[in-house]
Structures are given as C-alpha cells and as structure tokens.
Amino acid sequence: MAVVLFASYSCVQDTTVDLAPVISEPGLGDGAVKTLQATMPASSRTALDEKVDGKYPVSWCEGDVLAVNGKPTLGISINEEDASVAVFELPLGITIPYNIVYPYPGEDVAINAESGAYPVVFATEQMHTEGSFAPNSAPMYAWSNGFDDVHMEHLTTVLRFGIKAKAGESVDLKYVSVSTVNAEPISGLFDVYCADGGEKAQGTLEARASALSTIFYNFEGDSYVVNDSKEEFFYIAVPKGEYSRFEVNFVNQNGEVCSETFDATGDKQLLAGKVREFPVVEFVAN
C-alpha cells in the first residue's frame, strides 16, 4: 500500500467547537406506563445540525433507543412541534436510580452493574452522513435518583476532517480510517460509570478487552468522489480522552493513501462534547 503524506494539520491551528448540552427530564406518562422525557436543545436528530451561536446542536430522531439500567426503552415519541423533546417508554420493572446510556448496546452485551459500570458501544464502522456524524456513533450517559432534571453528558469528541482534490483532478475515495498510533482502544465495547459518587468518577470510561484501536469511515457503495471545486467534510466520533497520537488515512480506489497524524495530549486531548475542526487538505498521491 502506497503511503502519501499531505500537509500536517499542526501546520495550521485546528479549532474546537462545542456540541450543545443535553438535558433530560424523567416523568410518568398517562396511565400505568412509565416514561422518561428527554429534552435536548435544537432541532431534529441525534446528529449535528447547523451551528447556532457557535455551537453544533444535537437532538433526538425516530428510532433512538436508550439503555436504562441495561434494559432498552420500548418506544420513542418525539414532540411534533419541538423535536428536541422526546418521551421514551421504559420497560416493566425499571426502578430508580436510573443509569442511562445512549445508544442501547444490544441484548447480548454483559453488564457489570455491581461495579456501577454500564456498557456503551463506540461504533467501529461509521457510515458517511452528509453534514453530520453517523447515527448511533456519539454515545451519551446520565444518572438519576428520581430528580426532576437529568443532564445527559456527551462521551465523544467529533473530529471534522476536510479534504479536496488537487486543481484539475478528482479523487474517488473508498474509505477513511482513524487509528491510535500506540494501539489505544477507540472503538467497540467500553463501560461507563454513570453514578455520581460511585466506585469511580462519574463518566469514567474503561475499554473492554475486545475494544479496537481503529475506526473505519465508510461510504455508500464504497465510493465517494471528491472534486477540486468543493471541499468535503467528514465527521467521525471518537471516545473522549487523552491519547498519544492519531493517524488518519484517506484511501482511494487504487489503494493509495493520504495519511496524517495529529496529537491528542495535554491541551489537545479529546474533550467530551466538542467538535475538533481540522484545516482542509488536498489529496496528493505520489
């Protein structure tokens, strides 16, 4: 595989932008059905919307499922007038305190509830979504002991990469990969400590043995054409934390790789609820 270097991100200062905070409110629905009302600022989906006051809003969408004490919510009803408000129906037998994780990791995932940790999945394969990160790729968590207001917390940094072709050329990308140089885990199964005052600090993430050090960013039909006349942006969600170094590879249909590394230590570490925006680069093959 040919490796083609392009201008380092560190040559031009990258920037970090906030994701909007998320607020949830638990409550009871009509009759005997117990529900959790979850409220986010902004418009229509658990994805990035256009910046508002310098922040990227995030909001609920149809099909979102929470894990509450390890069990999946049974349905979602989004407010027709304000899609930032949704009511989730809780499964029978759920009692407080609520340990809440988004998205639901699946029924085959073992839970270490005795330690106060609940499973959360960071997607190893993320599908290109125009103007946003892939669905279910940016986990959140919360904890409630019956209080009226529950504040959901982000667990990821969203990395925004921009690329274009050289003048007079086009590039047909096959996929993009993001990896940690020292094999620190960034995808797959983790545990998050939801409770305040638990065994570990609230929001602590711990990777399970099966977790991986690479994320693959794929395109519909394994093809995405980048031209010289338009900058293309890709959003990849990565767990918060401090990492030694990352490598990003843009791979075209011929197997040529446009590769770059960037730091994630100290003041460059990946902070939850942030979008780290990198300068646009040209795909240059040699």
Q: What is the predicted pLDDT for the residue at 44? A: 30
Quick: pLDDT tens for 37-54.
Answer: 665 533 333 455 566 566
- Residue scoring higher pLDDT (77 or 123): 123
Q: What is the predicted pLDDT for the residue at 43? A: 31
Q: What is the predicted pLDDT for the residue at 76? A: 86
Quick: pLDDT tens for 175-215.
Answer: 999 999 999 999 999 999 998 777 789 999 999 999 999 99
| Mean pLDDT on 230-257 | 96
Q: What is the predicted pLDDT for the residue at 14? A: 57
Lowest mean pLDDT: which of 84-93, 115-124, 264-273?
A: 84-93
Percent share of the chain, pLDDT over 70? 77
pLDDT band at residue 103 using 50, 70 and 90 as cut-offs = very high
Lowest mean pLDDT: which of 17-31, 96-110, 170-184, 263-277?
A: 17-31
Exposed (0-12), middle (13-18) or buried (19+): which is 263, by Cβ within 10 Å? middle
Residue 218 predicted with pLDDT over 60: yes
Quick: pLDDT tens for 40-92.
Answer: 533 333 455 566 566 665 677 888 899 999 999 998 887 787 666 677 888 88
Q: What is the predicted pLDDT for the residue at 45? A: 37
Quick: pLDDT tens for 138-154.
Answer: 999 988 887 545 677 89
Q: What is the predicted pLDDT for the residue at 16? A: 65
pLDDT band at residue 116 using 50, 70 and 90 as cut-offs = confident
Residue 133 predicted with pLDDT over 80: yes
Q: What is the predicted pLDDT for the residue at 189? A: 97
Q: What is the predicted pLDDT for the residue at 70? A: 92
pLDDT band at residue 258 using 50, 70 and 90 as cut-offs = very high
Q: What is the predicted pLDDT for the residue at 11? A: 27
